[in-house]
Amino acid sequence: DQQVKQNSPSLSVQEGRISILNCDYTNSMFDYFLWYKKYPAEGPTFLISISSIKDKNEDGRFTVFLNKSAKHLSLHIVPSQPGDSAVYFCAASEGDKVIFGPGTSLSVIP
Amino acid sequence: SAVISQKPSRDICQRGTSLTIQCQVDSQVTMMFWYRQQPGQSLTLIATANQGSEATYESGFVIDKFPISRPNLTFSTLTVSNMSPEDSSIYLCSSYLAGGYNEQFFGPGTRLTVL
């Protein structure tokens, strides 16, 4: 039973447009949410996070939105760049346990 | 952040053999984690390796199959024992710096293929 879901396995976006990656979770006890980016043959790298007490966190081109009532979060990348092409993992934590979603492969087309 | 290296980066092994994966961090860290990413799947935590104590294994993973060592604050090994093709995965180690628990940094992974 997946506690963190990313229902879109892949996404293609034109360069310069907005990329929106979605994530849903089932455990209301999760208190921290993160996004990781992974290039082929590399380990995931931390991108941005949000505490459960907030509904938005912004860092440059990346913004994460959290809707606790819907148990949903999203990552917005604007403007999208070809270098953003990677697999994006949503993750959620409760205490000392981090659960990862299955990932969404983003392709930014020049 | 800190830098994590893993050895080997990839290997092809025969069924029934064992492989030990090494993980080195360039800083002293309290906790190190071992994950598995099976083809097309997400990252699944195998165990948490604490220096000076036994590793803590997640449900579905046992010490006999995945023995872990943690001899000091910068190094850990994971052994995949008596391998079968189902063990073909990417194995990743990770850790975090003090005060940044949730923001783990990962090694590059070890791609294991079992024939």
Q: What is the pLDDT of residues B66-82, one digit of tens each?
A: 999 999 999 999 999 99
Residues pairing with A12 in the sheet? A107
pLDDT of amino acid B85: 96
Model confidence pLDDT, tens digit, residues A8-20 = 999 999 999 999 9
Residue A97's pLDDT is: 80
Residues of A in contact with B43 (CB under 8 A): 44, 89, 100
So what's the pLDDT on residue B98? 67
Q: What residues have CB less than 8 Å from A53, skipping those under 6 apart? A: none
Confidence of residue A94 (pLDDT cuts 50, 70, 90): confident
In the predicted model, what is the mean pLDDT of residues A62-80? Answer: 97
Per-residue pLDDT band at A2 (split at 50, 70, 90): confident
**Nearest CB partner across the interface for A100, out of B1, B42, B101:** B42
Please give the angle made by the CA atoms of A97, B100 and A64, to the nearest 5 degrees. 80
Query: Which residues of A are less than 8 Å from B32 in CB distance?
Result: none
Q: DSSP of B68-107, one letter per residue?
A: EEEEETTEEEEEE-S--GGG-EEEEEEE--TT-TTS-EE-
Mean pLDDT of B96-106: 76
CB A86 within 8 A of CB A21: no
Length of chain A as a residue count? 110
Question: What is the predicted pLDDT for the residue at B108?
Answer: 95
pLDDT at A26 over 80: yes
- Higher pLDDT: A19 or B2? It is A19
**Section B4-24 average pLDDT:** 97
Burial A15-24 (b: 16+ CB within 10 A, else e): eeeebbbbbb
* Interface contact flag, A49 B107, Cβ < 8 Å: no
CB contact under 8 A, B109 and A93: no
Q: In degrees, to the nearest 5, what angle opens at C-alpha A63 toward C-alphas B35 and A71?
A: 65
CB pairs under 8 A between A and B: 46
